[in-house]
Amino acid sequence: MNKVSDDNRCFACGKENPIGLKLDFTVEGGDTVSRLNFHRNFAGWENMVHGGILSTVLDEVMVKSAAGNGYVCVTAELNVRYKKPCQTERDYILRGRVKEVHKRLIFTEAEILDDSGALVVSGQGKLFLVDTVENLKK
């Protein structure tokens, strides 16, 4: 396996990244969950979150879901379905989970829900296993 290390500067979750999202994650009912209010600096069109930012947070919650199951992964494939516009300055819930584990591939899915629970964006990911969380602690 490849050796990876965390310098805490990840755009999505790194606390040392001054321009990052600094996402925090919890586990709720087997899902990896985060909450986010997208600042207007992340807009594409006025008051609408840029699609690339939305795919970034989906990717992150999927990778964190794998990590929560002991797997350190990088994304091999990401498929995103945008259901409706995601607005800036509004609260959203990110949810992700591991669906299947194969030898070196982890299959995941995630979604972004608005504060009413309506689906805004969904995605599926195929992740490469590069290490284990246990090995990183050594």
Q: How does residue 105 score in pLDDT terms, banded at 50, 70 and 90?
A: very high
Q: How does residue 2 score in pLDDT terms, banded at 50, 70 and 90?
A: low
Report the pLDDT value the prediction gives residue 11, as an integer from 0 to 100: 92
Amino acid at 92: Y
The pLDDT of residue 47 is above 70 = yes
Instruction: Look at the block and give the residue holding tokens 């709720």.
Output: 28
Amino acid at 100: E
Segment 79-89 mean pLDDT: 97
Report the pLDDT value the prediction gives residue 134, as an integer from 0 to 100: 83
The pLDDT of residue 80 is above 90 = yes
The pLDDT of residue 1 is above 70 = no
Segment 25-40 mean pLDDT: 96
Q: Residue 133 has which token pair?
A: 């969380």
Report the pLDDT value the prediction gives residue 136, as an integer from 0 to 100: 74
Amino acid at 13: C
End-to-end C-alpha distance for the chain, whole angstroms: 14
Q: How does residue 6 score in pLDDT terms, banded at 50, 70 and 90?
A: confident
Give me the sign of the Cα torsion angle 35, 40, 41, 45: positive
CATH no. of 26-136: 3.10.129.10
C-alpha–C-alpha distance, residues 31 and 68, integer Å: 9
Segment 11-16 mean pLDDT: 92
C-alpha–C-alpha distance, residues 1 and 74, integer Å: 12
